[in-house]
């Protein structure tokens, strides 16, 4: 990563196509998470239920991707997929210029169970993260740390900047440090989604799940709602019947 992830110029980004949507807040659950799990868990295979439980137990808030004004919905979607794959429970987005949008074909609907935290500007985002004990690291050419060193930080927020401009000067001013992905080839930069996948994979290694049981149940409930056909109607019918 000779330059910060997100610095590669991209042209022709389209947001006005059916597969792209600006993400809104997650809809409320149709019932309590515990009730949804109780009703729907018997309707999936034991193997699928074990997989859902394993995902919930591995989720962590100790590593947080921060996406600053991403323009390309495919990049945003790919980073959400990487966050889900490597156990990140929340993703922060800064929307100073661009509302955060994703391609549903790329995201594989991971936005249905990842907690998205929105900020109107970089300063507010940094203040909110620091108030919760996060160190903030921005990628840049010749960054001081490697992704392996980020893995040792108890609470790390990884800033991935806009494709054209990288991280803002405001975010850099509030950051605790910089990092770079060591590169051995002739290229000097990586696409922001590729850089995020490498960074999150390495920085997430050996982290343990740290959500409480209520939070895990919310994840289980949202995953089950996506696994069972007519799940919301089934839940409403069963709860109406007092089950």
Predicted confidence at residue 3, as pLDDT, reads 39
The residue segments making up the domain with residue 225 are 44-240
Using alpha carbons only, what angle is made at residue 205 by residues 51 and 185, rounded to the nearest 5 degrees?
120
Q: Examine residue 134 and state whether it is found in any structural domain, yes or no.
A: yes
In sequence order, the 6+-apart residues with CB closer than 8 A to the CB of 75 are: 163, 191, 192, 193
The reply to whether 3 falls in a domain is: no
Tell whether 212 is covered by a domain: yes
Statement: residue 9 has pLDDT above 60: no
169 inside domain: yes
In a domain? residue 115: yes
- Helix residue ranges per DSSP H, the chain: 33-40, 46-58, 73-85, 104-107, 122-131, 147-150, 169-174, 192-204, 213-227, 231-240
Q: Which of 74, 97, 67, 81 is nearest to 15 (CA)?
A: 74
Q: Decide: 43 and 225 in contact? Cβ < 8 Å.
A: no
- Is residue 206 in some structural domain? yes
Residue 231 domain-assigned (yes or no): yes
Residue 13 placed within a domain: no
- pLDDT 10s digits, 36-47: 999 999 999 999
pLDDT of 1 reads 43
- Asked if 29 and 36 count as a contact pair (C-beta separation under 8 A), the reply is yes
Inform me whether the pLDDT recorded for 100 exceeds 80. Answer: yes
d(CA 70, CA 75): 7
Instruction: Please state the domain count of the chain.
Output: 1
Q: What is the CATH number of the domain that holds 126?
A: 3.40.1280.10
Dump pLDDT digits (tens) for 172-224: 999 999 999 998 888 777 889 999 999 999 999 999 999 999 999 999 999 99
């Amino acid at each position: 990563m000779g330059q910060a992830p997100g610095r590669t110029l991209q042209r022709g980004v389209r947001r006005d196509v059916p597969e792209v949507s600006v993400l809104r807040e997650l809809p409320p659950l149709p019932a309590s998470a515990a009730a949804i799990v109780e009703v729907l868990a018997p309707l999936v295979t034991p193997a699928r239920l074990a997989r859902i439980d394993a995902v919930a137990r591995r989720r962590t808030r100790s590593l947080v991707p921060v996406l600053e004004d991403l323009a390309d919905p495919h990049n945003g979607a790919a980073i959400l997929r990487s966050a889900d794959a490597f156990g990140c429970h929340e993703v922060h987005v800064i929307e100073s210029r661009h509302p955060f949008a994703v391609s549903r074909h790329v995201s594989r609907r991971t936005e249905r169970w990842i907690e998205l935290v929105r900020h109107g500007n970089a300063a507010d985002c940094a203040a909110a993260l620091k108030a919760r004990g996060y160190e903030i690291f921005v990628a840049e050419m010749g960054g001081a740390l490697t992704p392996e060193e980020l893995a040792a930080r108890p609470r790390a927020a990884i800033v991935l900047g806009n494709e054209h401009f990288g991280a803002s000067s405001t975010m850099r001013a509030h950051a605790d440090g910089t990092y770079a992905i060591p590169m051995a080839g002739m290229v000097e930069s990586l696409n922001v989604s590729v850089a995020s996948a490498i960074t999150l994979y390495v920085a997430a290694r050996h982290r343990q799940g740290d959500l409480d049981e209520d939070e895990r149940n919310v994840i289980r409930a949202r995953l089950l709602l996506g696994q069972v056909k007519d799940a919301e109607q089934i839940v409403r019918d069963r709860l109406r019947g007092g089950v």
